[in-house]
Amino acid sequence: MALHITGDPHADELLSTDPFAVLAGMMLDQQYPMEHAFRGPAKVLDRFGTFDPARIAAADPEEFAALCSTPPAIHRFPGSMSARLQELARIVADEYDGRAERIWTEAADGRDLMKRVQALPGFGKQKAQIFVALLAKQLDVRPEGWEAAVGAYAEDGFRSVADVVDEASLQKVRDYKKQKKAAAKTSAGSGPGVSPQR
């Protein structure tokens, strides 16, 4: 299934055809607009000539950081993110023979998939839930129990990148995130109370 996350056909094509690219894009989706984060893998491919995990892992760290920092950079923090990308590439190369899709195709169930994703650099619980929801909703990867593992991200709506299929849905997810931030600020300013639902 083709992914339409970035608004850039070249970047979306890479995400749709390379499992490591979609994993790396999710890793980069932190303190940075999601569509720009998911364009990162295509920027690396264009500058480095490949998006092969083993090649990325073996690259000189300083040279790779410079490549990731070249405007337009892959992230607002290109130095730390280039190191994290190399670490992710090393895990995929060493533990999964360079095939990122084995992380999900070989998972026993939703809970096991969550555990595998959370073991990766840059993936806390919430990001792992969003990634598992993305796999389920857009790539039809639905191990038993995935809905319970990802919670509200399994529901219909526009909560995360898992629900982005075009420019309109991207805007709806952006709006949802803004509302969530505003609600969190309001509740933080009014003392103890019910925290906003994720």
Q: Alpha helices of the chain — where are they, by DSSP H?
A: 9-17, 19-28, 34-37, 40-48, 53-58, 61-69, 78-95, 102-105, 110-118, 125-139, 146-150, 167-189
Q: Tokens for 23?
A: 């994993």
Q: What is the pLDDT along the chain (198 residues), one digit of tens a residue?
A: 799 999 999 999 999 999 999 999 999 999 999 999 999 999 999 999 999 999 999 999 999 999 999 999 999 999 999 999 999 999 999 999 999 999 999 999 999 999 999 999 999 999 999 999 999 999 999 999 999 999 999 999 999 999 999 999 999 998 998 888 888 888 877 655 544 444
What is the distance between the alpha carbons of residues 181 and 189, in angstroms, rounded to a whole number? 12
Specify the pLDDT at position 105. Answer: 97
pTM, entire model: 0.91
b/e sequence 33-64, b meaning 16+ C-beta within 10 Å:
ebbbbbbbbbbbbeebeebbbeebbebeeeeb
